[in-house]
Structure 1
């Protein structure tokens, strides 16, 4: 199967069958020495980095409005080398976005903090899948979305209205799985709550909230994959 899905187009997704393989990812095995060497340089440049556990895909396909794939737990140090050598690596990355829609239809994104790998970048609160996001070996995408939003912003999406389905956008840099989450409060109020939460954090992951009010409202530092998601939202009712 490997990686078999349309690129650079937003796809409707009704089911996600991405499973965690207990074995090591071939990329991690084949590049162990280089991973260790690269990681020494990464932490020298940014001592705040933590070599936690994330997952990398070894297979992903789109069939009958479903995403089907296999992934493996890897150290973050493996992920960091993969970012530099992703082409023809036999590995890909998938992540999830809860598209936070305020009561006034504005979007609320975040800007990443200065000590992170993505410092200054603007996207929806998100993080890589981790083993905690899997249930009986199957990824729980909505759990990941809500967990990451809560950890980064303090916003609890458990009572938010979810969009009727997921969507996915696959590019050369990775595959983002996303879903609208509707919160009744206006964007300014949500942003105020996020800013208040960030102010209580000793080492916040994000710099703060970013409100996006229309399709042409593209902030500095916007991650490339975000523009089509923003245009999609403002062009379509849920």
Structure 2
């Protein structure tokens, strides 16, 4: 998984993410194309919902702080921007991820279900921020991670220990803010617990749970920012 250019991982303790009103020119000027594209995608995956999401601009890393501004848009515009190769490079999808680390040193990742817009992709519990993640005009990434983790896996606050800092990986189109979550259970037990939780859901987001015990468990279905983070973690154990 190391055949691409190494990514820089910024370790920060403060996320300063302000939510502001801003009209996205891409979403305005290509509205008709965006709507047609989303209609096509909905025919493929009827469960897709055109809700409101938050995307970012102007990321700045300084000392132990990440600053950026976020704006509200519709999921259809985000999906078109993503599917069309990120035609507006001034915007990024900035999201939190909970890197579940088990007592035996294995990481737990989920595979997205076929009804989702990221079908088959494998990564840590996460999601594009939405309006439920806004607190007093700022984006609460910590709360977003907690919410997404419970929705996807059933693991609730108090069942794991969150490290205070974030490992931020900026690729241009994406900015992954990854927080290590330590759970005092062996990986197989964690997987069994999550699988049982998924079985009880009507339409779970995840279709499978994957354990990563070493570099040999990495997959091309994992985004580069996920594999870069995991590679760095295993390298630090040497």
On whether the aligned pair clears a TM of 0.5, the verdict is yes
Q: Distance between the aligned counterparts of 1:228 and 1:143, measured in 2?
A: 24
TM-score by length of 2: 0.91
**How far off is 1:197 after superposition?**
0.5
5 Å-filtered alignment, 1:141-220, equals 141-219=141-219
1:11-69, Cα deviation, whole Å (9 max, x unpaired): 11121111111343333223222221221222122222111111111322212221111
1:59 and 2:54 matched:
no
**How far off is 1:221 after superposition?**
2.2
1:56-103, Cα deviation, whole Å (9 max, x unpaired): 113222122211111111111010111114144432111111100111
**How far off is 1:158 after superposition?**
3.5
Q: Distance between the aligned counterparts of 1:141 and 1:102, measured in 2?
A: 22
5 Å-filtered alignment, 1:54-133, equals 54-83=53-82, 84-133=84-133
Structure 1 unmatched ranges of 5 or more: 1-6
Alpha carbons of 1:105 and 1:128: their partners in 2 closer, same or farther (altered >3 Å)? same
* SS class of match (2:222): coil
CA contact (8 A) 1:194 1:208 kept: no
* SS class of match (2:92): coil
Q: Distance between the aligned counterparts of 2:16 and 2:216, measured in 1?
A: 34
- Structure 1 equivalent of residue 229 of structure 2: 229
* SS class of match (1:231): helix
Q: Distance between the aligned counterparts of 1:102 and 1:85, measured in 2?
A: 35
1:166-188, Cα deviation, whole Å (9 max, x unpaired): 11001133110001010001111
TM-score by length of 1: 0.91
CA contact (8 A) 1:146 1:158 kept: no
**How far off is 1:137 after superposition?**
1.1
* SS class of match (1:78): helix
